[in-house]
Amino acid sequence: MTETGKTATLSFDGKSFELPMHSPTAGPDVIDIRKLYADAGVFTYDPGFTSTASCDSTITYIDGGAGILLHRGYPIDQLAAKSHYLEVCYLLLYGELPTAAQLEDFETRVTRHTMIHEQMHNFFRGFRRDAHPMATMVGVVGAMSAFYHDSTDIADPWQREVASIRLVAKMPTIAAMAYKYSIGQPFVYPRNDLDYAANFLHMCFSVPAEKYEVNPILSRAMDRIFTLHADHEQNASTSTVRLASSSGANPFACIAAGIACLWGPAHGGANQACLEMLKEIGSVDRIPEFIARAKDKDDPFRLMGFGHRVYKNFDPRAKVMKQSADEVLDLLGIEDNPILQVAKELEKQALEDPYFAEKKLFPNVDFYSGIILEAMGFPTSMFTPIFALSRTVGWISQWKEMIGDPQMKIGRPRQLYLGETERDYVDVEDR
């Protein structure tokens, strides 16, 4: 961030205040209002912080209008096509793509930390069997702070590094255990001979009674889901992690806070909401009815998985995810799955309809990831936990960046107060 030499002038009540401006390496200039209250005695009002930069960052850049998503400068479609998840993790955590030796070392460190403390199994058994896996993950990830005391001092760079590796390594194990617990099957331990995505699928779908071979097409699709969800700039859950971290809180507790925020249907639950919509449609012959409802501005029904709050043109992740969806559906077949039949036909009809093209309502990454996970056999309740384990590396990267920022201070948003002004207390007998 560099000063532009330009200033913005704020004028009110006959007074003017000059505010410095800064230029990013990409994106619009920003007006620095840090001294606004001290100098002018006023706050800015920005519900949702949609026009406010809460930090500076070198990790991810998004231009929603142009459909651009860059991680450390690399386009997401190139990373998804040519790289794999752990390499992208290294890029997000350390700023550059690794050499072959660096990548091997990183993969080894992650692989050697995939097991969780045996006593943590007791935490799972404290939940009801029908508990949502996200509820389980919030509790178990927060509980990691009680088991790994040697990586909770955020002032120690080495402890930050250990905490980062542990979270990336153990999150698939925790998510898979949450799934196994919810369906009443025994926990499956991680295997060091499998790659990151294949290991997760093995922990989810294998059972002690028989051998389970992970299909490489499914493993590659899973890896792409992880990669395409690794980070997404200052979204709600990432901002939650940063805000929690600004107080100096335990790193495991901060990531648990991010998981809690991600749980919402407007954020991480979008692909679950998409599959629930497909189930509501139910059959291919009902698609025209629901498309007509989606066009009716007076009807509350909306097509989930189409369009995106950030991407006003197209979601750059969707093209890669569609390719994976096609590969998975070709492998598994969809003849006996009415939900996937509805998804394929809905995609076809929506893309052919001029209304959706004019409104730029194209299928997004949530639409295709939901189709893939449904085809693999995951229940919709597991969609958001898989999102959470994918996004963990983004949260950690943002956390590490913030902790190392000399400008870091505890978050303290302001408010526009509209309540009662000062009044005197009245004794109960006089009310």
Q: For residue 9, with 0-12 CB atoms within 10 Å meaning exposed, 13-18 middle and 19 or more buried, which class applies?
A: exposed
Residue type for position 22: H
Query: What's the token pair of residue 156?
Result: 């120690």
For residue range 298-355, list pLDDT tens digits in order.
888 888 878 776 766 677 888 888 888 888 988 888 667 788 788 888 888 888 888 8
> Distance between CA atoms of 164 and 110, rounded to whole angstroms?
10
Selecting among 308, 336, 427, 430, the annotated active-site residue is 308
CATH T-level assignment (fold) for domain 77-406: Citrate Synthase; domain 1 (1.10.580)
Q: How confident is the model at residue 149 (pLDDT cuts 50, 70, 90)?
A: confident
What topology does CATH give the domain 2-53? Rubrerythrin, domain 2 (2.20.28)
C-alpha distances (whole Å) from 419 to each of 73, 415, 416, 422, 423 are 46, 11, 9, 10, 11
Are 393 and 401 contacting, i.e. CB atoms less than 8 angstroms apart?
no
* Helix H or strand E encompassing 20: strand 15-23
- Name the segment(s) of the chain with CATH classification 1.10.580.10: 77-406
Secondary element (H or E) of residue 36: helix 36-40
C-alpha span between 365 and 228 (Å, rounded): 8
The strand order across the sheet containing 2-12 reads 2-12, 15-23, 30-31
Model confidence band, residue 356 (pLDDT cutoffs 50, 70, 90): confident
Does residue 366 have an active-site annotation? yes
Active-site annotation holder among 195, 223, 231, 366: 366
pLDDT at 4: 59
CB neighbour burial string for 111-128, b if at least 16 within 10 angstroms, e if fewer: bebbebeeebeebbeebe
Every domain of the chain with CATH number 2.20.28.60 lies at: 2-53
pLDDT at position 329: 83
* Cα–Cα distance measured from residue 273 to residue 279, given in angstroms and rounded to the nearest whole number: 10
Answer yes or no: pTM beyond 0.75: yes
Taking all residues of the chain, what is their mean pLDDT, rounded to a whole number?
91
Name the DSSP letter for residue 8. Answer: E
Lowest-confidence segment of 35-49, 96-110, 207-221, 347-361 by average pLDDT: 347-361
308 has catalytic annotation: yes
Residue type, 75: P
Residue 264's pLDDT band (boundaries 50, 70, 90)? confident
